[in-house]
Amino acid sequence: MSGFVHEALPMRVVFGTGSLGRVVEEVEHLAMARVLVLVTPEQRGLAEQVAGLLGDRAAGIFDQARMHVPVATVDKAAEVVDAVGADGCVAVGGGSTIGLGKALALRHGLPVLAVPTTYAGSEMTPIWGLTEDGRKQTGRDRRVLPRSVVYDPELTLTLPPVVSGTSGLNAIAHAVEALYAPDGTPIIAAMAEQGVRDLAAALPVVVADPTDADARARALQGAWLCGACLGATTMGLHHKLCHVLGGMLDLPHAETHAIVLPHVAAYNLTAAPEADAVLRRALDTSDVPGALSELGARVGAPDALVALGVDHADLARVADEVLAAPYSNPRPPTRAELGAILEAAWRGPR
Ligand SMILES: NC(=O)c1ccc[n+]([C@@H]2O[C@H](COP(=O)([O-])OP(=O)(O)OC[C@H]3O[C@@H](n4cnc5c(N)ncnc54)[C@H](O)[C@@H]3O)[C@@H](O)[C@H]2O)c1
Ligand SMILES: O=C(O)CCC(=O)CC(=O)O
């Protein structure tokens, strides 16, 4: 075996059913005195529950978190941080809410306690994303890595089936790309294999029965592992394509990942046999792209960009932007190959 360098990120995790009740302990552990609770408008009720648990330590609630973290939203939240004198944030929700917490950490240096309620995996990464003027910019900064994560599977019982399925496929995409990343290690490969196995087993169950507590816990554990893979490695063509599609065309993030993943996997895995072997084991298949596509269908994910309203004429602009600043990839695509991937993802299997 050739040598490698593995650098683990610092991370404190509280995992288990009912662990939301330990959020006060975590805030105390992080020495936060006045926290702003971040949430989307749809999850306002949950933020009120958290603020109730925090009592005097809750400085307020900001309930305008939005997909892709628009800079205008960060500006508004930053005003609230200043107005209430917050010294930390509790981000309760999916990747959009945790992304807002990260943006505030980047701007104000505020520590973030994350309470994830989807499977996107953002809580495990030092990656921030911001969108302005139709462009999504991402970067890495250790200051945005949440200081503590409270995983409570009970909070995911309300997650609608399609968000469960697509956010889980988003997490699987992190593991797939970590497996052929230039900075992947055998440790990451082991985490990716188990993360994909957990999510692939649990997602169809939670979609069929959203109240299945064991499947919810397994899916959340898979999301943790896959998110950690994203946090530790450099992503490739799949993430680049999804960032450009999401930023330029304002597409729903997780659905875009679910649609694009089988197509990029089919293209890349021919040049990444070790990653392919790991994924074959994790998915118990000899056809990884086919199994990813089938998993998408089983969890009710959309399977074509046209179904998200993408105009065919926009594909060329997307390809240009992807090639203008490509991510590292096991098989660097030509313009024609990228066009073919986008065309297939746009049309879908039908
Ligand atoms: N920086 C990173 O490492 C990273 C990783 C993955 C995703 N992301 C980002 O995360 C965002 C997508 O996150 P997402 O897929 O988690 O979706 P999301 O956070 O946008 O949530 C989707 C919807 O589901 C609702 N929701 C969330 N949890 C719920 C629950 N338990 N019950 C009921 N409703 C619930 C939300 O209110 C929202 O309306 C994108 O902006 C993406 O760029 C970032
Ligand atoms: O989109 C972001 O916020 C950056 C995170 C990332 O690369 C993960 C993803 O695209 O799912």
User: CATH number for the domain including 124?
Assistant: 3.40.50.1970
Judge if 207 and 251 occupy the same domain.
yes
Ligand 2 close to Cβ of residue 231 (< 6 A): no
Q: Whose CA is nearest to atom 2 of ligand 1?
A: 122
Q: Are residues 24 and 77 in the same domain?
A: yes
Q: Which residue's CA is the closest to the ligand 1 atom numbered 8?
A: 95
Q: For residue 167, tell me if it sits in a domain.
A: yes
- Asked whether 113 and 50 are in contact (CB, 8 A), the reply is no
Pocket test for ligand 2, best of 128, 230, 255, 322 (most atoms within 8 A of CB): 230
| Domain co-membership, 35 together with 115 | yes
Closest ligand 2 atom to residue 173 Cα is: 11
Distance of CA 333 from the midpoint of ligand 2 (Å): 21
Instruction: Let me know if residue 226 belongs to a domain.
Output: yes
The predicted pLDDT at position 68 comes to 85
Name which residue sits closest to atom 3 of ligand 2, judged by CA.
Answer: 129
Residue 91: the pLDDT is 98
In eight-state DSSP terms, residue 328 is: P
* 252 Cβ contact list (under 8 Å, min separation 6): 67, 166, 246, 308
pTM above 0.80, yes or no: yes
Is residue 208 located within the same domain as residue 128? Answer: no
Query: Which amino acid makes up residue 114?
Result: A
Strands 35-38 and 88-93: what pairing? Answer: parallel
pLDDT tens digits in sequence order for the chain, 350 residues long: 689 999 889 989 999 999 999 999 999 999 999 999 999 999 999 999 999 999 999 999 999 999 889 999 999 999 999 999 999 999 999 999 999 999 999 998 999 999 999 999 999 999 999 988 877 789 999 999 999 999 999 999 999 999 999 999 999 999 999 999 999 999 999 999 999 999 999 999 999 999 999 999 999 999 999 999 999 999 999 999 999 998 889 899 999 999 999 999 999 999 999 999 999 999 999 999 999 999 999 999 999 999 999 999 999 999 999 999 999 999 999 999 999 999 999 999 86
The neighbouring-strand residues paired with 13 are 149
Domain boundary among 93, 128, 156: 156
**Where does residue 31 fall: left (phi above 0), alpha (psi -120 to 50 degrees), or beta otherwise?**
left
- Predicted pLDDT of residue 247: 84
Instruction: Establish if 4 belongs to a structural domain.
Output: no
Q: Kindly indicate whether the ipTM for this predicted assembly is greater than 0.95, answering yes or no.
A: yes
Q: Which residues pair with 90 in a beta bridge?
A: 37, 113
d(CA 65, CA 58): 18
Alpha carbon distance 87, 270 (integer Å):
49
* Contact yes or no for 220/119 (Cβ under 8 A): yes
Distance CA 279, CA 196 (A): 8
CATH code, 199: 1.20.1090.10
Position 208 in a domain: yes
The verdict on 190 and 306 lying in the same domain is yes
The Cα angle at residue 148 between residues 73 and 213, in degrees rounded to 5? 95
Cβ atoms of 206 and 160 within 8 Å: the answer is no
User: Are 61 and 88 members of one domain?
Assistant: yes
Residue 138 CB–ligand 2 contact under 6 Å: yes
Task: Say what the pLDDT of residue 134 is.
Answer: 73
From the alpha carbon of 124, which atom of ligand 1 is closest?
A: 3
Asked if residue 258 lies in contact with residue 170, where contact means CB atoms within 8 angstroms, the answer is: yes
Q: How far apart are CA 259 and CA 292, in angstroms?
A: 10
Same domain, 234 and 96: no
Does residue 283 form part of some domain? yes
**Domain check: are 212 and 292 in the same one?**
yes
Q: Does one domain contain both 133 and 193?
A: no
pLDDT value for 343: 98
The CA-to-CA distance between both ends of the chain, in Å, stands at 43
Instruction: Rounding to the nearest 10 degrees, give the CA dihedral for residues 222, 223, 227, 230.
Output: 70
Residue ending a domain, choose from 134, 156, 178: 156
Residues written for the chain: 350
pLDDT at residue 350 in the model? 63
Q: Are residues 24 and 147 in the same domain?
A: yes
Number of domains in the chain: 2
Determine the pLDDT at residue 1: 66
Q: Is residue 203 part of a domain?
A: yes
**300 and 265 fall within a common domain:** yes
Residue 146: inside a domain, yes or no? yes
Give residue 293's pLDDT.
Answer: 98
Range of the domain at 62: 12-156
Final residue in a domain of this structure, among 156, 187, 213: 156
| 323 lies in the same domain as 336 | yes
